[in-house]
Amino acid sequence: FGAETPQTPRVLKKYDEFGYIEHLPLKGVRKTTAKHMIESVRAIPHVTHMDEADVTGLVQLREKEKKKAEKKGIRLTFIPFIIKAIIAALKNHPYLNASFDEEHEEIILKKYYNIGFAVDAGGGLFVPVIKGADQKSIIDMADEIRRLAMQVEERTIDLMELKGGTFTITNVGSLGGIFATPIINYPESAILAVGKIIEKPVVYRKKITVRSILPLSLAFDH
Which residues are identified as catalytic? 222
The residue among 30, 32, 36, 12 whose CA lies nearest residue 22 is 12
Cα distances (Å, whole numbers) of residue 109 to 31, 92, 167, 197, 206: 30, 13, 12, 32, 41
3-state SS, one letter per residue, for the chain: CCCCCCCCCCCCCCECCCCECCCCCCCHHHHHHHHHHHHHHHHCCEEEEEEEEECHHHHHHHHHHHHHHHHCCCCCCCHHHHHHHHHHHHHHCHHHCEEEECCCCEEEECCCCCEEECEECCCCEECCEECCHHHCCHHHHHHHHHHHHHHHHHCCCCHHHHCCCCEEEEEHHHHCCCCCCCCCCCCECEEEEECCCEEEEEEECCEEEEEEEEEEEEEEEC
- Cβ atoms 84, 138 nearer than 8 A: yes
